[in-house]
């Protein structure tokens, strides 16, 4: 009878180890490349932050740089000069495409950092304001991404919006 329980304990221990390793691997991928100290975030330049009025062409998934977790982005058209830009909004682990409150054709005020990533002009969004909804994803003061904040700091920022 003792041998029966030893086998059960061994089986449970092996299961726990395998499960823990799998969860660690999943957690390591979440947010991959979107961290405050990651190369991608270094492209956000406060000197290049501007606000423009745009029209949404499409909302889509993006991978800003090789090896990064998938993110949410959109293609927009500047209302003034009709130039199109790809906008990087956030990683999907922070907000899914369904959580983006804007629709194709909607006019928005977009605030973000204009930069070039992989030879493409992009806007790294900070704040997107529609007719009835506003989406803030970075601090105006220093560009800190909301998805890198601890829960208390994030709650404070979101309650201020």
pLDDT average, residue stretch 121-145: 96
pLDDT of residue 28: 39
| 3-state SS, one letter per residue, for the chain | CHHHHHHHHHHHHHHHHHHHHHHHHHHHHCCCCCCCCCCHHHHCCHHHEEEEEEEEEEEEEECCCCCCCCEEEEEEEECCCCCEEEEEEEECCCCCHHHCCCCCCCEEEEEEEEEEECCEEEEEEEEEECCCCEEECECCCCCCEHHHCCHHHHHHHHHHC
Identify the residue with better confidence: 69 or 18. Answer: 69
Q: Is the pLDDT of residue 58 over 80?
A: yes
Identify the residue with better confidence: 1 or 50. Answer: 50
pLDDT of residue 83: 96
- Mean pLDDT value across the chain: 86
Instruction: Tell me the pTM.
Output: 0.80
pLDDT average, residue stretch 31-42: 93
Q: Could you report the per-residue pLDDT of 86-109, keeping only the tens digit for each?
A: 999 999 999 999 999 999 999 999
pLDDT of residue 3: 58
């Amino acid at each position: 009878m003792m041998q029966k329980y030893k086998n059960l304990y061994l089986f449970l221990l092996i299961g726990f180890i395998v499960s823990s390793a799998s969860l660690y691997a999943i957690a390591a991928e979440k947010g991959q490349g979107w961290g405050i100290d990651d190369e991608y975030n270094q492209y956000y330049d406060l000197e290049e932050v501007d606000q423009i009025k745009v029209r949404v062409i499409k909302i889509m998934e993006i991978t800003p740089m090789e090896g990064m977790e998938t993110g949410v982005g959109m293609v927009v058209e500047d209302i003034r000069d009709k130039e199109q830009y790809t906008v990087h909004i956030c990683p999907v682990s922070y907000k899914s495409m369904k959580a983006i409150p804007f629709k194709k054709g909607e006019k928005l005020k977009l605030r973000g950092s204009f930069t070039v990533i992989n030879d493409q002009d992009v806007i790294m969004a900070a704040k997107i304001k529609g007719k009835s909804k506003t989406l803030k994803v970075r601090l105006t003061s220093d560009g800190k991404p909301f998805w890198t904040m601890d829960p208390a700091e994030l709650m404070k920022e979101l309650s201020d919006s």
